[in-house]
Amino acid sequence: MHAVPSNWFSWNYDVSDRDGPLTRIDLGWLRETGGFELGGRRYRLARRGWLGHFELRRDDGRLICRAAKPSAFRRLFEIDLGDDKLILEAESIWGRGFVLRRRRKRAGVIRPESPLSRRIEAELPEELAAEVQVFLLWLVILVWRRHASAAST
């Protein structure tokens, strides 16, 4: 899976897989929100409350998955898929890459294509639904956007 900013100044990303274009992640301006369309269905991305969890919902309101960020000091998310739990955490304290873990084992990775790039390459388990994979990309994009905002102030 690859994700590319839609233009130089944008935090919206065009996502593709090996079969071609998949979707566009549109990030909200004011809050940690967003959305995308996949397979003819619209999905909403949002953070619930200032310190709350992150959610992926279909437009009909059905919750697909949720992520908690247990510490403001660590780049780590606990993903709840209902019948499965995942951990998405920083690959190292210095880099921008993230590792996906399932049952303590490495299951995938999301990282920039190069050290200074905002382009993303992701290797995620094929058994994860495409909408969940896009949700994971969104979480990483949020972290990158936060750090870019903090560095510019």
Q: What is the pLDDT of residues 4-39, one digit of tens each?
A: 999 888 899 999 999 999 999 999 876 789 999 999
Helix (H, G, I), strand (E, B) or coil at 143: helix
Measured in whole angstroms, how far is the alpha carbon of residue 63 from the centre of its chain? 16
Mean pLDDT of 95-124: 94
Helix (H, G, I), strand (E, B) or coil at 112: strand
* pLDDT score at 128: 96
pLDDT, tens digit, 9 for 90 and up, residues 112-153? 999 888 999 999 999 999 999 999 999 999 999 887 877 766
- In angstroms, the CA 69 to CA 1 distance is 24
* pLDDT score at 69: 92
- In angstroms, the CA 148 to CA 129 distance is 29
Contact 132, 124 (CB under 8 A): no
* 21: its two tokens: 């274009």
Which of the two residues, 52 and 44, has the higher pLDDT score? Answer: 44
Domain boundaries, the chain: 2-152
* CATH code for residues 2-152: 2.40.160
pTM: 0.93
* pLDDT score at 149: 74
* pLDDT score at 126: 93
Which of the two residues, 64 and 29, has the higher pLDDT score? Answer: 64
